[in-house]
A and B are shown apart, each in its own frame.
Chain A
Amino acid sequence: MRGTSLSRTVKWTLHYAALLAYVAVALFPLYWLLRVSITPNDILYKQGMALLPSKVTLDHYATVVGKSDFLLFFRNSIIVSGVTAIASTLLATAAGYAFSRFGFRGKFWIVGLMLVTQMFPLVIVITPIFSIFGVLGLTNSLTGLIIIYTAFNIPFATFLMQSFFDGIPKELEEAAMIDGATRFKALVEIVAPLTLPGIVATVGFCFTGAWGEILFALLLNSSPSASTFPVGLLLYSTRGTVEFGPMMAAGVLALLPVCVFFFLIQRYLVQGLTAGAVKG
């Protein structure tokens, strides 16, 4: 018995040590982000790799909030990510429901086409999109970004939603329809509440995708009024210098809404990401 409990202790110790090492590696860049953001410029390069700076300041935050367009970028990002997340989820929910519940002509080819869009890197289509958007007057506008992000999010979000709908027995809707509901009402009152974890997971996925996107944001929108915060971060890096302090402070501020968002939805998210995987 002693031997068994000893070997179990060793196993658990190794287990937690491995987990701890993983968490440390994963979180270290975030820690460093925070550390640099509160380190005064004069000691930034002097104290090497010390884990904590000898002096702490919030000057960088004051610079970011007070003396830059960060708040504007931040607002743009919130608008673009929020609208993208809502629009993508609504459309993906409708499409996912149709794929899950109906058989219709061309379904196979539509699914195939949607898969194709997931197969190539976005860089390939950036030039044609730039020229098309230029003609349509959608460059330097938040609307342009929202359209692009929504379009590129929909295929994966649709597959995600479809798998959640597949997990809901269709008898539930049928029972509701026999009880007197229209199909739409059955979807809203019976299926949607049960798919809520999936819907929330999809919103989260689309929101974070749009929140951190930089390629299109940089190439389509050159004016500060239509820039999102990832583009704004680049402004701290000029040809000659990189203003690490304000850049990191802006990074920390940009993380906050995502953290708050995930804190609010995490209960649904864990449920959601596993619920669709196993039927029943």
Chain B
Amino acid sequence: MASIEIANVRKGFGAVSVLKGIDLTIASGEFAVLVGPSGCGKSTLLRLIAGLDDASGGDILIDGRRVNDLPPRDRDIAMVFQSYALYPHMNVRDNMAYSLKLKRTPAARIAEAVGGAASKLGLEALTERKPRALSGGQRQRVAMGRAIVRNPKAFLFDEPLSNLDARMREQMRFEIRKLHRDLGATSVYVTHDQIEAMTMADRIVAMNAGVIQQVGSPLELYDDPANMFVAGFIGSPAMNFLEGQAKRVGNGVEIIVGGKAFCTLPHALALPEDGHVTVGIRPERIGIGAARGGTAEAVVDLVETTGAASVVHVDLTGQAMKIFTTERLQLAHGERVPLAFDAGHVCLFDRASGERLR
């Protein structure tokens, strides 16, 4: 186990700057998830930690030692690739044993380590098979096994579940998390799937356009996003964004959307001079029905039901919104419904910069 420190790391490909000064510390034993849309630089950052690419600037430290100039083999890290990258001409056992063989580990010790990993991952019956004779989930497990036999300082995961179907992904999410709990190894996990990030991370590192947007626990990012990017990226269905006006009223802030009163925040904020703001509210923080003290009225567009819950698409003074509810409401297209907003969970953002107003 080891900590990973990244100090002002930059990476450019020609004129394109992919990472623009990343500072991040991942504590020993922590499960950190780098999340962001395609092209945000998360995989590049992982490859820099692995040593597969060279940083254009800055320092990368593993266990307190600067590793910028070390080749991947000397960094003592293990990596699980999106494509699994199993050696096609070797069977499962040899795939898992390869790193130990390279280290000239005694055969008995290799057999023990491979056997242990295989039993931990339920691969005992498959050790003689070649990768092409395995299912996606099994290949994924072999890739994991290859990583854990080495007992490395840190595990790196590059979107390891992207090639699996939804059910298998859910199961592997759980297994990887359990494995981390058992091994307690420092892990850096890259994904574009915010659900993976929310369910697996000790800490999420949200990235966009080569810049870290926010670092925090899953619920910190969910409840207290630093900007519109994080607010919109984390959470499904995504946070609603509405164009509105905000003005100070006594100790609070009155918000107006589409010319009508939306809600009043109970605390003061630093507002832009013209009062133009983006109002953010999570779909589950909106109540439907007059009984909830609904102030604004919206028109129902569409209802999507999953069984356990429903997402109601409504139109509020010309702006689309989603409402998440576990109630089984009978709503028809075009029906007018009163909405109540949980003012304690409304976020305001600067419309120009997208930064959270605090």
Contacts and interface: CB of A to CB of B under 8 A. Distances in A.
B99 A180 contact: yes
Interface in B57-106: 71-73, 75, 77-79, 81, 83, 85-89, 98-99, 102-103
Given A172-B87, A194-B88, A178 B98 contact: no
A177 B52 contact: yes
Contacts of B103: 180
Contacts of B85: 169, 171-172, 174-175
B281 interface: no
A171 B83 CA distance: 8
A175 B73 CA distance: 10
B312 interface: no
Interface string B33-56: 000000000000000001110000
Given A174-B72, A174-B81, A179 B89 contact: no
A65 interface: no
A31 B213 CA distance: 76
Interface string A50-78: 00000000000000000000000000000
Nearest to B81: A171
A181 B73 contact: yes
B73 A180 contact: yes
Interface in A167-216: 169, 171-172, 174-182, 185, 190, 193-194
Contact of A179 (B71, B73, B83, B88): B73
A179 B81 contact: no
Contacts of A175: 79, 81, 85-87, 146
A193 B89 contact: yes
Interface in A230-248: none
B99 A179 contact: yes
Contact of A181 (B50, B51, B86, B102): B102
A192 to B, nearest CB: 10
A194 B85 CA distance: 13
Given A169-B83, A171-B81, A177 B89 contact: no
Interface string B95-128: 0001100110000000000000000000000000
Interface residues of A, number: 16
Contacts of A181: 73, 102
- The SS class assigned to the B binding surface is loop
Contacts of A180: 73, 99, 102-103
A194 B99 CA distance: 19
A188 to B, nearest CB: 12
Contacts of A176: 87, 98
Contacts of A179: 73, 98-99, 102, 146, 150
Contacts of B86: 175
A178 to B, nearest CB: 5
Nearest to A177: B72
Given A193-B89, A194-B88, A194-B89, A177 B73 contact: yes
A188 B72 CA distance: 17
Contacts of A185: 102
A194 B90 CA distance: 11
B224 to A, nearest CB: 36
Contacts of A177: 51-52, 71-73
6 contacts: A177-B71, A177-B73, A179-B150, A181-B102, A182-B71, A194-B88
Given A169-B83, A172-B88, A176-B98, 20 more contacts: A169-B85, A171-B81, A171-B83, A174-B52, A174-B81, A174-B85, A175-B79, A178-B50, A178-B73, A178-B75, A178-B78, A178-B79, A179-B98, A179-B150, A180-B99, A180-B103, A181-B73, A182-B71, A193-B89, A194-B89
Interface of A: 169, 171-172, 174-182, 185, 190, 193-194
Interface of B: 50-52, 71-73, 75, 77-79, 81, 83, 85-89, 98-99, 102-103, 146, 150
Closest 9 CB pairs of A and B: A179-B99, A171-B85, A180-B102, A175-B85, A180-B73, A177-B72, A178-B72, A171-B81, A193-B89
